[in-house]
Chains A and B, each alone.
Chain A
Amino acid sequence: MPVSLTASSTIYAALKASGVRVVSALPETWLVHLIRMAEDDPEMTLVRLAKEEEGVGISAGAHLAGVRSAMLMQNHGFLASVNGIVSCAQLYRIPLLMLISARGEFGERDPWQTEGGLVTRHVLDALRIPVDELGHASEVAHKVAQAQTLAYSASRPVALLLTRDLMWEEA
Protein backbone atom coordinates (compact mmCIF):
# COMPACT_ATOMS: atom_id res chain seq x y z
CA MET A 1 0.00 0.00 0.00
CA PRO A 2 1.58 3.31 -1.02
CA VAL A 3 0.65 5.17 2.16
CA SER A 4 3.95 6.54 3.41
CA LEU A 5 5.25 4.64 6.42
CA THR A 6 8.03 7.15 6.89
CA ALA A 7 5.67 10.11 6.97
CA SER A 8 3.33 8.23 9.30
CA SER A 9 6.20 7.48 11.71
CA THR A 10 7.27 11.10 11.65
CA ILE A 11 3.75 12.30 12.42
CA TYR A 12 3.33 9.72 15.16
CA ALA A 13 6.64 10.71 16.78
CA ALA A 14 5.56 14.36 16.65
CA LEU A 15 2.27 13.56 18.36
CA LYS A 16 4.08 11.70 21.11
CA ALA A 17 6.59 14.52 21.51
CA SER A 18 3.75 17.03 21.87
CA GLY A 19 2.45 15.04 24.82
CA VAL A 20 -0.46 13.22 23.18
CA ARG A 21 -1.46 10.12 25.15
CA VAL A 22 -5.01 9.52 23.87
CA VAL A 23 -5.77 9.19 20.18
CA SER A 24 -9.27 8.70 18.86
CA ALA A 25 -9.64 7.58 15.31
CA LEU A 26 -11.85 6.33 12.59
CA PRO A 27 -9.83 4.68 9.87
CA GLU A 28 -9.35 5.67 6.31
CA THR A 29 -6.64 4.54 3.92
CA TRP A 30 -4.13 7.29 4.64
CA LEU A 31 -4.37 6.74 8.39
CA VAL A 32 -3.75 3.00 8.57
CA HIS A 33 -0.11 3.19 9.67
CA LEU A 34 -0.79 5.93 12.21
CA ILE A 35 -3.61 3.91 13.74
CA ARG A 36 -1.47 0.76 13.89
CA MET A 37 1.28 2.74 15.61
CA ALA A 38 -1.16 3.98 18.23
CA GLU A 39 -2.47 0.46 18.66
CA ASP A 40 1.00 -1.02 19.17
CA ASP A 41 2.17 1.67 21.61
CA PRO A 42 1.62 0.71 25.25
CA GLU A 43 1.90 4.38 26.24
CA MET A 44 -0.99 5.40 23.99
CA THR A 45 -4.71 4.90 24.52
CA LEU A 46 -6.33 4.36 21.13
CA VAL A 47 -10.10 4.87 21.04
CA ARG A 48 -11.70 3.37 17.95
CA LEU A 49 -14.86 5.30 17.19
CA ALA A 50 -18.10 4.40 15.48
CA LYS A 51 -18.44 8.00 14.26
CA GLU A 52 -15.89 10.78 14.37
CA GLU A 53 -18.02 13.19 16.38
CA GLU A 54 -17.61 10.92 19.40
CA GLY A 55 -13.92 11.78 19.28
CA VAL A 56 -14.70 15.37 20.27
CA GLY A 57 -16.31 14.06 23.45
CA ILE A 58 -13.40 11.69 24.10
CA SER A 59 -10.90 14.53 23.69
CA ALA A 60 -12.95 16.89 25.85
CA GLY A 61 -13.11 14.29 28.63
CA ALA A 62 -9.40 13.57 28.34
CA HIS A 63 -8.61 17.27 28.49
CA LEU A 64 -10.80 17.93 31.52
CA ALA A 65 -9.07 14.98 33.17
CA GLY A 66 -5.66 16.45 32.37
CA VAL A 67 -4.55 14.26 29.45
CA ARG A 68 -3.52 15.45 25.97
CA SER A 69 -5.23 13.91 23.01
CA ALA A 70 -5.59 14.11 19.25
CA MET A 71 -8.20 13.09 16.69
CA LEU A 72 -7.29 11.24 13.49
CA MET A 73 -9.86 11.37 10.72
CA GLN A 74 -10.42 12.18 7.09
CA ASN A 75 -12.09 15.39 6.02
CA HIS A 76 -15.47 13.68 5.81
CA GLY A 77 -15.01 12.70 9.44
CA PHE A 78 -14.37 16.32 10.26
CA LEU A 79 -17.56 17.24 8.42
CA ALA A 80 -19.39 14.59 10.44
CA SER A 81 -18.07 16.14 13.67
CA VAL A 82 -19.04 19.74 13.16
CA ASN A 83 -21.79 20.00 15.77
CA GLY A 84 -19.57 18.39 18.42
CA ILE A 85 -16.75 20.77 17.55
CA VAL A 86 -19.00 23.82 17.85
CA SER A 87 -21.19 22.86 20.78
CA CYS A 88 -18.63 21.01 22.85
CA ALA A 89 -15.04 21.93 21.93
CA GLN A 90 -15.65 25.57 21.05
CA LEU A 91 -18.41 26.32 23.54
CA TYR A 92 -16.34 24.82 26.35
CA ARG A 93 -12.93 26.05 25.16
CA ILE A 94 -11.33 22.65 24.73
CA PRO A 95 -7.87 22.49 23.14
CA LEU A 96 -8.47 19.96 20.37
CA LEU A 97 -5.78 18.84 17.96
CA MET A 98 -7.35 17.44 14.79
CA LEU A 99 -5.27 15.67 12.17
CA ILE A 100 -7.39 15.55 9.05
CA SER A 101 -6.40 13.73 5.91
CA ALA A 102 -7.09 16.11 3.05
CA ARG A 103 -8.78 13.87 0.55
CA GLY A 104 -10.25 15.26 -2.65
CA GLU A 105 -7.42 17.65 -3.48
CA PHE A 106 -5.29 17.71 -6.69
CA GLY A 107 -4.29 14.17 -7.58
CA GLU A 108 -7.37 12.56 -6.05
CA ARG A 109 -8.50 9.54 -8.05
CA ASP A 110 -11.57 8.56 -6.01
CA PRO A 111 -14.53 10.48 -7.39
CA TRP A 112 -16.43 10.20 -4.10
CA GLN A 113 -13.79 12.21 -2.24
CA THR A 114 -13.93 15.24 -4.47
CA GLU A 115 -16.82 17.18 -2.96
CA GLY A 116 -15.27 17.02 0.50
CA GLY A 117 -12.03 18.36 -0.89
CA LEU A 118 -13.87 21.41 -2.18
CA VAL A 119 -15.45 22.40 1.11
CA THR A 120 -13.13 21.33 3.92
CA ARG A 121 -11.10 24.52 4.17
CA HIS A 122 -14.19 26.68 3.82
CA VAL A 123 -15.86 24.89 6.72
CA LEU A 124 -12.71 25.18 8.83
CA ASP A 125 -12.59 28.89 8.03
CA ALA A 126 -16.28 29.37 8.77
CA LEU A 127 -15.68 27.78 12.17
CA ARG A 128 -12.62 30.01 12.66
CA ILE A 129 -10.45 26.97 13.23
CA PRO A 130 -6.77 27.76 12.67
CA VAL A 131 -5.44 25.40 10.02
CA ASP A 132 -2.09 24.53 8.48
CA GLU A 133 -0.93 21.87 6.07
CA LEU A 134 1.60 19.14 6.60
CA GLY A 135 3.15 19.03 3.15
CA HIS A 136 6.61 17.66 3.79
CA ALA A 137 8.13 15.36 6.39
CA SER A 138 10.74 17.95 7.34
CA GLU A 139 8.07 20.34 8.69
CA VAL A 140 5.98 17.80 10.57
CA ALA A 141 7.61 17.92 14.00
CA HIS A 142 7.67 21.70 14.07
CA LYS A 143 4.10 22.20 12.86
CA VAL A 144 2.59 19.58 15.16
CA ALA A 145 4.32 21.20 18.13
CA GLN A 146 3.16 24.66 17.02
CA ALA A 147 -0.41 23.48 16.51
CA GLN A 148 -0.51 21.93 19.96
CA THR A 149 0.90 25.12 21.49
CA LEU A 150 -1.81 27.24 19.89
CA ALA A 151 -4.56 24.76 20.81
CA TYR A 152 -3.52 25.14 24.44
CA SER A 153 -2.90 28.87 24.53
CA ALA A 154 -6.17 29.62 22.72
CA SER A 155 -8.08 26.75 24.36
CA ARG A 156 -9.66 25.96 21.02
CA PRO A 157 -9.68 23.39 18.25
CA VAL A 158 -6.89 23.55 15.67
CA ALA A 159 -6.48 21.52 12.49
CA LEU A 160 -3.57 20.11 10.55
CA LEU A 161 -4.34 18.86 7.07
CA LEU A 162 -2.40 15.77 6.03
CA THR A 163 -1.69 16.31 2.34
CA ARG A 164 -1.35 13.82 -0.47
CA ASP A 165 2.26 14.93 -1.05
CA LEU A 166 3.11 13.88 2.49
CA MET A 167 0.96 10.77 2.90
CA TRP A 168 0.95 9.06 -0.46
CA GLU A 169 3.92 7.54 -2.26
CA GLU A 170 3.05 6.90 -5.90
CA ALA A 171 3.91 3.31 -6.70
Chain B
Amino acid sequence: MKRIDALRAIHDDLADCAVVTIMGAVAAELQSLGHRPNHFYLQHAMGLASSLGLGIALSRPDLDVVVIDGDGSLLMNLGGLTTLARYQPSNLVHIVFDNESLLSVGGFPTATSTGSDLAGIAAAAGVPRTGTVRSVEDFAGAFRAARAARMLSTIVAKVDAVGPSAFVTDLGLLENRYQFARHLRRPSA
Protein backbone atom coordinates (compact mmCIF):
# COMPACT_ATOMS: atom_id res chain seq x y z
CA MET B 1 0.00 0.00 0.00
CA LYS B 2 1.12 3.53 -0.71
CA ARG B 3 0.84 5.93 2.20
CA ILE B 4 -0.72 8.62 0.05
CA ASP B 5 -3.52 6.23 -0.94
CA ALA B 6 -4.11 5.37 2.71
CA LEU B 7 -4.25 9.08 3.55
CA ARG B 8 -6.64 9.70 0.67
CA ALA B 9 -8.96 7.00 2.01
CA ILE B 10 -9.37 8.80 5.36
CA HIS B 11 -8.95 12.42 4.26
CA ASP B 12 -12.68 13.12 4.56
CA ASP B 13 -12.83 11.48 7.98
CA LEU B 14 -10.09 13.78 9.24
CA ALA B 15 -12.17 16.91 8.63
CA ASP B 16 -13.60 16.98 12.16
CA CYS B 17 -10.46 15.84 14.02
CA ALA B 18 -7.39 17.56 15.42
CA VAL B 19 -4.68 16.00 13.24
CA VAL B 20 -1.00 16.00 14.24
CA THR B 21 1.58 14.62 11.82
CA ILE B 22 5.31 14.08 11.87
CA MET B 23 7.64 15.97 9.60
CA GLY B 24 8.72 15.53 6.05
CA ALA B 25 7.21 13.21 3.51
CA VAL B 26 3.90 12.46 5.22
CA ALA B 27 3.27 16.13 6.03
CA ALA B 28 3.80 17.03 2.37
CA GLU B 29 1.54 14.18 1.25
CA LEU B 30 -1.31 15.19 3.53
CA GLN B 31 -0.98 18.79 2.37
CA SER B 32 -1.06 17.69 -1.25
CA LEU B 33 -4.41 16.02 -0.59
CA GLY B 34 -5.76 19.21 0.93
CA HIS B 35 -4.60 21.21 3.92
CA ARG B 36 -7.15 22.18 6.51
CA PRO B 37 -6.82 24.40 9.59
CA ASN B 38 -7.25 21.34 11.82
CA HIS B 39 -3.96 19.83 10.56
CA PHE B 40 -0.73 20.47 12.45
CA TYR B 41 2.52 19.29 10.88
CA LEU B 42 5.23 19.01 13.53
CA GLN B 43 8.10 19.72 11.16
CA HIS B 44 10.87 18.64 13.51
CA ALA B 45 11.15 17.35 17.05
CA MET B 46 11.29 13.71 16.01
CA GLY B 47 9.24 11.54 18.33
CA LEU B 48 7.13 14.23 19.92
CA ALA B 49 4.07 14.11 17.63
CA SER B 50 2.50 11.42 19.81
CA SER B 51 3.28 13.38 23.00
CA LEU B 52 1.85 16.55 21.46
CA GLY B 53 -1.28 14.65 20.47
CA LEU B 54 -1.57 13.33 24.02
CA GLY B 55 -1.29 16.88 25.35
CA ILE B 56 -4.20 17.95 23.15
CA ALA B 57 -6.28 14.87 23.95
CA LEU B 58 -5.90 15.29 27.71
CA SER B 59 -6.48 19.04 27.57
CA ARG B 60 -9.53 18.82 25.34
CA PRO B 61 -11.52 15.60 25.83
CA ASP B 62 -14.17 17.06 23.50
CA LEU B 63 -11.81 16.87 20.50
CA ASP B 64 -11.01 13.75 18.47
CA VAL B 65 -7.24 13.67 18.03
CA VAL B 66 -5.47 11.73 15.28
CA VAL B 67 -1.68 11.39 15.41
CA ILE B 68 0.05 10.39 12.18
CA ASP B 69 3.41 8.97 13.21
CA GLY B 70 6.26 7.20 11.42
CA ASP B 71 8.33 4.18 12.37
CA GLY B 72 11.54 6.17 12.73
CA SER B 73 9.82 8.84 14.78
CA LEU B 74 8.05 6.39 17.06
CA LEU B 75 11.27 4.44 17.61
CA MET B 76 12.74 7.68 18.95
CA ASN B 77 10.04 7.96 21.64
CA LEU B 78 9.05 4.43 22.59
CA GLY B 79 8.74 5.60 26.19
CA GLY B 80 6.00 7.93 25.00
CA LEU B 81 3.97 4.87 24.02
CA THR B 82 3.94 3.81 27.65
CA THR B 83 2.74 7.30 28.59
CA LEU B 84 -0.02 7.12 25.97
CA ALA B 85 -1.00 3.72 27.30
CA ARG B 86 -0.94 4.95 30.88
CA TYR B 87 -3.50 7.69 30.24
CA GLN B 88 -5.38 5.87 27.47
CA PRO B 89 -7.23 8.89 26.13
CA SER B 90 -10.38 7.57 24.49
CA ASN B 91 -10.26 10.47 22.01
CA LEU B 92 -6.93 9.59 20.38
CA VAL B 93 -6.16 7.38 17.41
CA HIS B 94 -2.46 6.80 16.80
CA ILE B 95 -1.60 5.89 13.22
CA VAL B 96 1.93 4.73 12.45
CA PHE B 97 2.89 4.59 8.79
CA ASP B 98 5.63 1.98 8.89
CA ASN B 99 7.68 2.16 5.70
CA GLU B 100 10.57 0.44 7.47
CA SER B 101 12.73 3.40 6.60
CA LEU B 102 13.75 6.96 7.37
CA LEU B 103 12.24 7.96 4.08
CA SER B 104 12.52 11.70 4.55
CA VAL B 105 16.29 11.55 4.99
CA GLY B 106 17.57 9.15 2.39
CA GLY B 107 15.49 6.07 3.06
CA PHE B 108 17.86 4.24 5.37
CA PRO B 109 16.19 1.20 6.94
CA THR B 110 14.85 1.31 10.50
CA ALA B 111 14.72 -1.62 12.91
CA THR B 112 11.22 -2.49 11.73
CA SER B 113 12.95 -3.70 8.54
CA THR B 114 14.71 -6.36 10.60
CA GLY B 115 11.64 -7.45 12.51
CA SER B 116 10.85 -4.98 15.29
CA ASP B 117 7.07 -5.04 15.55
CA LEU B 118 5.60 -1.67 16.48
CA ALA B 119 2.07 -2.97 17.01
CA GLY B 120 3.50 -5.63 19.30
CA ILE B 121 5.50 -3.00 21.16
CA ALA B 122 2.40 -0.80 21.50
CA ALA B 123 0.36 -3.74 22.82
CA ALA B 124 3.08 -4.64 25.28
CA ALA B 125 3.22 -1.01 26.37
CA GLY B 126 -0.44 -1.30 27.29
CA VAL B 127 -2.23 0.32 24.36
CA PRO B 128 -5.61 -1.45 24.50
CA ARG B 129 -6.31 -1.66 20.75
CA THR B 130 -3.48 -2.35 18.34
CA GLY B 131 -3.15 -3.92 14.92
CA THR B 132 -1.12 -4.06 11.74
CA VAL B 133 -2.77 -3.50 8.36
CA ARG B 134 -1.38 -3.99 4.87
CA SER B 135 -4.07 -2.75 2.47
CA VAL B 136 -5.85 0.56 1.99
CA GLU B 137 -9.20 -1.09 2.64
CA ASP B 138 -8.06 -2.65 5.89
CA PHE B 139 -6.45 0.61 6.93
CA ALA B 140 -9.57 2.70 6.38
CA GLY B 141 -11.66 0.06 8.14
CA ALA B 142 -9.28 -0.08 11.09
CA PHE B 143 -9.24 3.71 11.36
CA ARG B 144 -13.02 3.98 11.40
CA ALA B 145 -13.33 1.12 13.86
CA ALA B 146 -10.78 2.77 16.13
CA ARG B 147 -12.67 6.05 16.16
CA ALA B 148 -15.96 4.29 16.81
CA ALA B 149 -14.45 2.23 19.63
CA ARG B 150 -13.56 5.34 21.60
CA MET B 151 -10.57 3.57 23.05
CA LEU B 152 -6.92 4.42 22.51
CA SER B 153 -5.74 2.61 19.39
CA THR B 154 -2.40 2.26 17.63
CA ILE B 155 -2.78 1.26 13.99
CA VAL B 156 0.44 0.26 12.28
CA ALA B 157 0.03 0.55 8.52
CA LYS B 158 2.76 -1.17 6.53
CA VAL B 159 3.41 1.08 3.53
CA ASP B 160 5.83 1.28 0.61
CA ALA B 161 8.89 3.41 1.16
CA VAL B 162 7.87 5.97 -1.44
CA GLY B 163 6.88 9.59 -1.13
CA PRO B 164 6.92 12.98 -2.76
CA SER B 165 10.14 14.32 -4.24
CA ALA B 166 10.10 17.50 -2.15
CA PHE B 167 8.86 18.15 1.38
CA VAL B 168 8.85 21.92 1.67
CA THR B 169 5.46 23.45 1.01
CA ASP B 170 4.35 27.06 0.99
CA LEU B 171 2.71 26.70 4.41
CA GLY B 172 4.94 28.44 6.97
CA LEU B 173 5.62 26.60 10.21
CA LEU B 174 4.30 29.42 12.37
CA GLU B 175 1.39 30.11 10.05
CA ASN B 176 0.37 26.47 10.49
CA ARG B 177 0.88 26.62 14.25
CA TYR B 178 -1.20 29.75 14.82
CA GLN B 179 -3.91 28.68 12.42
CA PHE B 180 -4.20 25.32 14.18
CA ALA B 181 -4.30 26.83 17.67
CA ARG B 182 -6.91 29.36 16.60
CA HIS B 183 -8.96 26.60 15.04
CA LEU B 184 -8.88 24.44 18.18
CA ARG B 185 -9.86 27.36 20.36
CA ARG B 186 -12.79 28.57 18.30
CA PRO B 187 -15.95 28.34 20.36
CA SER B 188 -17.50 25.50 18.37
CA ALA B 189 -14.32 23.38 18.13
* Interface, chain A (partner B; CB < 8 A): 21-22, 45, 47-51, 53-67, 69, 83-84, 87-88, 91-93
Q: Is B56 at the interface (CB under 8 A from chain A)?
A: yes
Question: How many Å from the CB of B109 to the closest CB on chain A?
Answer: 23
B83 in contact with A88 (CB, 8 Å): no
Q: Which residue of A lies closest to B20 (CB)?
A: A61
B79 in contact with A88 (CB, 8 Å): no
A93 in contact with B80 (CB, 8 Å): no
B44 in contact with A54 (CB, 8 Å): no
Question: How many Å from the CB of A53 to the closest CB on chain B?
Answer: 7
**Residues on the B chain within 8 Å of A88, using CB:** 42, 44-45, 48, 52
Q: Is B59 at the interface (CB under 8 A from chain A)?
A: yes
**Residues on the B chain within 8 Å of A93, using CB:** 174, 177
> Known contacts A64-B180, A91-B173: does B60 contact A54 (CB below 8 Å)?
no
Could you show 18 A-B contacts with beta carbons less than 8 Å apart? A22-B58, A47-B58, A50-B80, A54-B80, A58-B58, A61-B20, A65-B59, A65-B184, A66-B59, A66-B185, A69-B55, A87-B44, A87-B46, A88-B42, A91-B43, A91-B44, A92-B42, A92-B177
* Residue from B51, B83, B173, B185 in contact with A61 in the complex, judged by beta carbons closer than 8 Å: B51
Give the CA-CA distance A49 to B47 in the complex, in Å.
Answer: 14
CB-based closest 4 A-B pairs: A61-B55, A57-B51, A50-B79, A57-B48
Question: How many Å from the CB of B52 to the closest CB on chain A?
Answer: 4
For chain B, give the interface size range.
35 or more
**Residues on the A chain within 8 Å of B97, using CB:** none
Q: Is B82 at the interface (CB under 8 A from chain A)?
A: yes
Q: Which of B49, B50, B55 has the most CB of A within 10 A?
A: B55
Give the CA-CA distance A47 to B49 in the complex, in Å.
Answer: 16
Give the CA-CA distance A136 to B60 in the complex, in Å.
Answer: 35
Q: Is B77 at the interface (CB under 8 A from chain A)?
A: yes
Q: Is B143 at the interface (CB under 8 A from chain A)?
A: no
Q: Which residue of B lies closest to A56 (CB)?
A: B48
A57 in contact with B184 (CB, 8 Å): no
**Residues on the B chain within 8 Å of A87, using CB:** 44-46
Give the CA-CA distance A50 to B81 in the complex, in Å.
Answer: 9
A45 in contact with B50 (CB, 8 Å): no
B45 in contact with A67 (CB, 8 Å): no
**Residues on the B chain within 8 Å of A53, using CB:** 47-48, 51, 77
